[in-house]
Chain A
């Protein structure tokens, strides 16, 4: 049964993947052809179309590198340099992941605290919510340099400024989901707890918090992805020494498209891993609690 379903899914997925790869290679030929002809083939004189294709797939700085080039570059930048060398992509991914996770946890705490305040006080609900929403309409690209400059002038550098930017993006989905989740308990459940004379704090831990978890976790997946993007953006203007954002920046500075693509793929992989991490925690906490 499951074997069957697996096969059912395998064929369309594999087909889509193959079509995508073929299109990618065709696009690479088309985009790289002009540069190859001008810089590599024309000086040599006559060239055949096989030579053209081969050359477009093996350029030093292609407009669009082909998948196997990126894979090769990823491989060498992960395995050919020692782990603590700045040439190793894993080191950069590690630095970015550390800042993202720190910012994510800070955002979780901040977002949770804001939600608790909003749910328990009508005044704070009115006072805070507009600012929270407004804060998110300012693009990170504008906020990031300001935060970095201010924190830098206070002597705070390194991971913390990046984590702050990540937090700035993380806390919003957490707050919105938690406010909704903490208000999720039905009137009946609240009255039940009330007849048992539960205090506000007891009500929070016994009823509100558990009710909010199914709302919280989907938002955490959004938050950690947003936090990763925020960290990478924060790594751009600092001229950071390490991190995927720094790799992107140096890559584009030197026109090293392969390096850019490797860092991009690495960032995507990191995003997948971080989201999976959240999903694993979700499974541990609410996995066994199924709905009727």
Chain B
């Protein structure tokens, strides 16, 4: 485990790491999966990755202040896949940005791994996938994926090995030497996902990553992302407008409503962790989708 570590709480951190190593996130116990899909979350060692207490964000717009987030109370545990869903303008992006230290909160408290978002960022906790791929046009696909690793000073060979592996995982082996403009939109978005994953972030943040893609590509990427989560059990915070996407991917769905931005309902998913796209035809899936839809409609009134 290599990160830049603040000098002061070195000991503290080392202790934490050992605990974490004893319960590796990326090796799910098969027994857990069979017994109950939630045992991993309900064990006493389930530690929160993100805690928000009465967190508010108020933008000072020209005419009057906009309450983008109003007293959000909410916890994300490690290893959870949480989707944020809600109508446009309800503050999903703002919430994601607050967690990733891209936006300051006006009041309240947000803790990430027990630290302020800013400290967590300095400990390289985040992999943020934006709605647009945000690849650097002067770097090849491989060099784009290597970028975050280079920033933390990994050796060149190491960066390249990790980048190649991640590109393989998102199905882009063989495209390393290409430039972003030689790739389709879906491929570019996969590169940006590989870039975020290669960084081995504690928390993967995704803001409508598949919003601009066609249905078929989207399904494929959803499937890949779900498998990836199952394999690595990284904490994921995922923003989407699609009910089907949220239900298919998540272990928990957070339904939000606008003016002021707040959480209307948090829905635990009863679906098993191991899923494929055919799960969308099961009655459980339909029931869950219906519940989300009703919550959305409720919030809209």
> Which residues of chain A have a CB within 8 Å of any CB of chain B?
188-189, 191-198, 202, 206-207, 210, 213, 286, 289-292
- By a CB distance below 8 angstroms, the chain B residues around A198 are 151
- By a CB distance below 8 angstroms, the chain A residues around B180 are 292
- Scan residues 132-183 of chain B and give those whose CB is less than 8 A from a CB of chain A: 132, 134, 136-138, 147-148, 150-152, 179-181
Indicate if the CB atoms of A195 and B121 lie closer than 8 Å. yes
> Which residues of chain B have a CB within 8 Å of any CB of chain A?
4, 100-102, 121-122, 124, 126-128, 130, 132, 134, 136-138, 147-148, 150-152, 179-181, 199, 205
Indicate if the CB atoms of B151 and A286 lie closer than 8 Å. no
Indicate if the CB atoms of B134 and A188 lie closer than 8 Å. yes
Report the separation of the CA atoms of residues A259 and B243 in the bound assembly, to the nearest whole angstrom. 82
Closest Cβ neighbor of A193 among chain B residues: B151
Given contacts A188-B130, A292-B180, contact A196 B136 (CB under 8 A): no
Given contacts A192-B130, A289-B179, A291-B137, contact A197 B122 (CB under 8 A): yes
- By a CB distance below 8 angstroms, the chain A residues around B181 are 290-292
Report the separation of the CA atoms of residues A192 and B144 in the bound assembly, to the nearest whole angstrom. 12
Closest Cβ neighbor of B130 among chain A residues: A188
Can you add 5 more A-B contacts, CB < 8 Å, to A195-B205, A206-B150? Answer: A191-B102, A202-B151, A289-B137, A289-B179, A292-B181
A-B pairs with beta carbons under 8 Å apart, 9 shown: A192-B134, A195-B102, A195-B128, A197-B122, A197-B151, A202-B151, A207-B136, A210-B136, A210-B138
Of B4, B151, B205, chain A has the most CB atoms within 10 Å of the CB of: B151
Closest Cβ neighbor of A188 among chain B residues: B134
- By a CB distance below 8 angstroms, the chain A residues around B124 are 196-197
Indicate if the CB atoms of A206 and B151 lie closer than 8 Å. yes
Indicate if the CB atoms of B136 and A189 lie closer than 8 Å. yes
Report the separation of the CA atoms of residues A142 and B205 in the bound assembly, to the nearest whole angstrom. 60
Report the separation of the CA atoms of residues A290 and B137 in the bound assembly, to the nearest whole angstrom. 8
A92 to chain B, nearest CB (A): 40
Given contacts A202-B151, A289-B179, A292-B181, contact A192 B128 (CB under 8 A): yes
Report the separation of the CA atoms of residues A193 and B152 in the bound assembly, to the nearest whole angstrom. 12
- By a CB distance below 8 angstroms, the chain B residues around A286 are 138
- By a CB distance below 8 angstroms, the chain B residues around A189 are 134, 136
Closest Cβ neighbor of A214 among chain B residues: B138
Report the separation of the CA atoms of residues A289 and B135 in the bound assembly, to the nearest whole angstrom. 13
- By a CB distance below 8 angstroms, the chain B residues around A291 are 137, 181
B98 to chain A, nearest CB (A): 13
- By a CB distance below 8 angstroms, the chain A residues around B138 are 210, 213, 286, 289
- By a CB distance below 8 angstroms, the chain A residues around B205 are 195
Report the separation of the CA atoms of residues A292 and B126 in the bound assembly, to the nearest whole angstrom. 29
Report the separation of the CA atoms of residues A291 and B199 in the bound assembly, to the nearest whole angstrom. 27
Report the separation of the CA atoms of residues A131 and B138 in the bound assembly, to the nearest whole angstrom. 34
Closest Cβ neighbor of B181 among chain A residues: A292
Report the separation of the CA atoms of residues A197 and B153 in the bound assembly, to the nearest whole angstrom. 12
- By a CB distance below 8 angstroms, the chain A residues around B102 are 191, 194-195
